[in-house]
Amino acid sequence: MSEEENSTLKIFLEMHRNCRFAPGSDSLTKRALLSANSVAECALPSDVLDIGCGTGNSTAIIADMFPLATVFAGDIEPDFVQRVRDRFAQNPNVCVASMDMAHLDAFFQPETLDLILCEASVDNVGFGSALTAWSQILRAGGVAIVSELCMYGSKSKMPEEAFEYWTEAKEDITTERQLRQVAVCSGYTVISEFRVSPDEWAAYHHCLRGNIEKLKSRALVTGDVARREVEKMEREMDMVERHPECCGYTYFVLQKN
């Protein structure tokens, strides 16, 4: 990891201390897992993957909901992997490993997983590319749960400043409708979909702002990288709060055909 990448990760972790890494909630994760659980093939999943697991919050939810399942937790960031290993050291049903989302076939044989959860981290490979790759390691009828940042309506209906911001912040941003079409074309049936609520966004921003204020009060927002990352986060929060109708995270619960 380069010095700049290390500094970026450090300020990200400081801003997100005791916060989720993306807007959402435990109840939203549980809702998605219960929706997957309603599918016959996932009624009692035996092999579940939490990819882009971060520090393991959703891994813990999966392990609690499906105590008989083998839960695989993977992330490409070594610090996260070690944290999750320490967290689940006493749970023999949780297997933690450093995983590249773009090369999961290096860890799993074809059609060996019942359920894949990926929250707010599919950007690493792209929505469509991830679904195509996951279809190779999901069993027939298996389920993929993925949350992705997207536009709620057409680009033409967005306020100009919101459109300019989101297309600059996320060059490949697209609409819910287009993501749904990508899922279907990738060989999935949409079981359900739902958005991160305004209250969940507000809770996320409240936690972030508290940490950012602490960092500023302790004069820890120093250096070009720290200032850039804090300013970027503050701009995103401002845009979401002023134009909540434009963009946000949507959860898609998808069954492999």
In order, the DSSP letters of 182-238 are: HHHHTTEEEEEEEEPPHHHHHHHHHHHHHHHHHHHHTT---SHHHHHHHHHHHHHHH
Residue 231: both structure tokens together = 């300013």
In this prediction, residues 227-250 reach a mean pLDDT of: 93
Q: Indicate if the pLDDT at residue 1 is higher than 80.
A: no
Confidence category of residue 22, pLDDT binned at 50, 70, 90:
very high
Tens of pLDDT, residues 45-91: 999 999 999 999 999 999 999 999 999 999 999 999 999 999 999 99
Tens of pLDDT, residues 125-184: 999 999 999 999 999 999 999 999 999 988 778 899 999 999 999 988 999 999 999 999
> Which domains, ranges and CATH numbers included, belong to the chain?
22-197+246-256 (3.40.50.150)
Least Cα distance to 146 among 171, 111, 112, 182 occurs for 182
Confidence category of residue 94, pLDDT binned at 50, 70, 90:
very high
Q: What angle do CA 231, 52, 177 make, to 5 degrees?
A: 80
pLDDT at residue 228 in the model: 87
> Could you give the CA distance from residue 244 to residue 239 in angstroms, rounded to a whole number?
8
Q: Indicate if the pLDDT at residue 221 is higher than 80.
A: no
| Collapsed DSSP state (helix, strand, coil) of residue 140 | strand
Confidence category of residue 43, pLDDT binned at 50, 70, 90:
confident
Mean pLDDT across the chain: 93
pLDDT at residue 30 in the model: 97
pLDDT at residue 153 in the model: 86
Estimate the crossing angle of helix 198-217 against helix 224-242, to 10 degrees.
150
